[in-house]
Homo-oligomer: A and B are copies of this chain.
Amino acid sequence: MVSTMQTSIMNVETKYFHLKHDLLLESGEKLSPVTLAYETYGTLNDEKSNAILVLHALTGDAHAAGYHHDEDSTGWWDLMIGPGKAFDTDKFFVICSNVIGGCKGSTGPSSVNPKTGQPYGLDFPIVSIKDMVNAQSHLIKGLGINKLVCVAGGSMGGMQVLQWVASYPEMLKSAIPIATAAKHSPQQIAFDEVGRQAIMADPNWSDGHYYLKSPPTRGLAVARMIGHITYMSDISMAEKFGRNVKPEKRKQKFSPDYEVEGYLQYRGDNFVKRFDANSYLYITKALDNFDLGNGGSLEKVFKQAPNVRFLVIAFKSDWLYPAYQSKEIVRACKQAHLDVSYYEINSTYGHDAFLLEAAEQEHFIGNFLKRFYDE
C-alpha cells in the first residue's frame, strides 16, 4: 500500500562537498577534483550519533526528500524520509549524496576535465560502486560523523549499502539493503548492455564527445524505456494500462497506439532532459562490475562486519532484482552469524516497489531503527 498522509520538509537545499585530496579509484587512476552534491534532513545531534546515510539508485540524485524552495515536486524517497516517516527526521539526521560518475552535481563525465578545460566525456575514468562509497566516506567524515546509525538504499543504493558494510564496517551500526543484489546476474548485465548499446548507436553520441553539440537523446530515451519495463511488473502494467488505446488520433504509422507505448515514450522523453547519457554508461557499468564477494564467498565479507545489524527487504513481483538475490545476502549474513532480518513484501509494483511501498517499509524500517534511537 502506498501511504497517502505525508508531511514533507520545505526549503531543502543541495550542498556541495569538495574532497581535499585526489580520490584513488579501484582502476588505479586518480580523480581530482572531486565534488559531491548532497542534502541533509533533520538535525545532527551534539554527539553526532544520529546520522543515517541513504543511497540512491541508477538515475537518482542527492535530492531524496522534501521540496526545493522553487519546485513543486518532492525528492525521490520523500515517502520514506521526513517527520514520522520510516527514516524519521524528528529523530535522525538523514544524508543523501549524488554518486560520482553521476550528473546531478557530483563529479562525472559531464564535469570539466582540469587537464583540458572541456567536459571529460569518455576520458572520465571507469568508476565502481566501491569508488562511490569511498567518496561518500569522505563526506561523512567531513561532516564530523564517525559512526552512522544506518546506511540504507534500494537497487544500486542497496549495492552501495553492501559495499559500505564491506569497506567501512567500523563506521556502521546497521545496514538496510533493499531490492538489490551482491552481484548482477547475466540477465541484469544484458538489460544494462542493451541500454548502453542504444545510447552508443545514436550518432549524436559521437564517442561521448557531444557536450558542445546535440546529445544522444533518442538513444538515451530508448535506454530509459527498456529500464522502465524492467522497473514495473507484468501485473502492474496490466493494472495500469491493460490494452487501453491512446485517445489521441493516430498521426502516422507506428506512432504509439496503446497507452503503455505513450507512457514509455513520455518517460523516455522526460528522462533525457534531466540525465546525461555518458553518466548512464558509467553508472550501469559500475552496476554490472559490482561483485561484493569478488568471485568468492559473501560470508567472508560479512564476517569482517560482526557488529553490523541487517534488515534486508525484497519484493515479490520484482523480477529485475528477484527475491532470490536478497535471500543470498540473508544466507551469507546468517553464515557469518550476523544479526539479520528479512522481509519479502507482497507488492505488485515490481522493482519500483522500493520507491512506492511506503507503508510496509515504514513499518519494518521504523521498528528496525527504533532500537538505535532508544540505545
Q: Which residues of A contact B (CB under 8 A)?
A: 122, 126, 183-187, 189-191, 193-194, 196-198, 200-203, 208, 218-219, 221-222, 225-226, 228-229, 232-234, 237-238, 240-243, 253-254, 256-261, 264-265, 268, 281, 285, 288-289, 291, 319, 322
Contacts and interface: CB of A to CB of B under 8 A. Distances in A.
A268 B197 contact: yes
Contact of A281 (B202, B242, B254): B254
Contact of A190 (B253, B260, B288, B291): B260
Given A200-B254, A222-B222, A185 B238 contact: yes
Given A190-B229, A190-B264, 14 more contacts: A122-B253, A126-B253, A184-B243, A185-B234, A185-B243, A186-B258, A186-B259, A187-B234, A193-B261, A194-B225, A197-B264, A198-B222, A201-B222, A208-B253
A260 B192 CA distance: 11
16 contacts: A126-B253, A185-B234, A185-B237, A186-B258, A187-B234, A187-B237, A190-B225, A190-B229, A197-B225, A197-B268, A203-B203, A208-B253, A234-B322, A243-B291, A257-B288, A319-B319
Q: Would you list the 10 A-B pairs with minimal beta carbon distance, nearest first?
A: A201-B218, A186-B260, A186-B237, A186-B241, A193-B261, A187-B234, A194-B225, A190-B229, A187-B237, A198-B222
Nearest to A200: B254
Contacts of A226: 194, 226
A200 B221 CA distance: 12
A213 B234 CA distance: 39
Contacts of A225: 190, 193-194, 197
B222 A190 contact: no
Contacts of A183: 243
Mostly, the A contact residues are helix
B193 A256 contact: yes
Contacts of A221: 197, 201
A184 B234 CA distance: 11
A186 B243 contact: yes
Contacts of A232: 187
A217 to B, nearest CB: 9
A260 B193 contact: yes
A202 B281 CA distance: 19
Nearest to A258: B189
A265 B189 contact: no
A356 to B, nearest CB: 18
Contact of A242 (B122, B186, B240): B186
A233 B322 CA distance: 13
Contacts of A268: 197
A196 B238 CA distance: 21
A352 to B, nearest CB: 14
A186 B198 CA distance: 22
A271 to B, nearest CB: 13
A288 B184 CA distance: 31
Nearest to A227: B194
Contacts of A265: 197
A189 B260 contact: yes
A226 B254 CA distance: 18
A186 B244 CA distance: 9
B219 A201 contact: yes
Nearest to A192: B261
A43 to B, nearest CB: 43
B229 A261 contact: no
Contacts of A126: 253
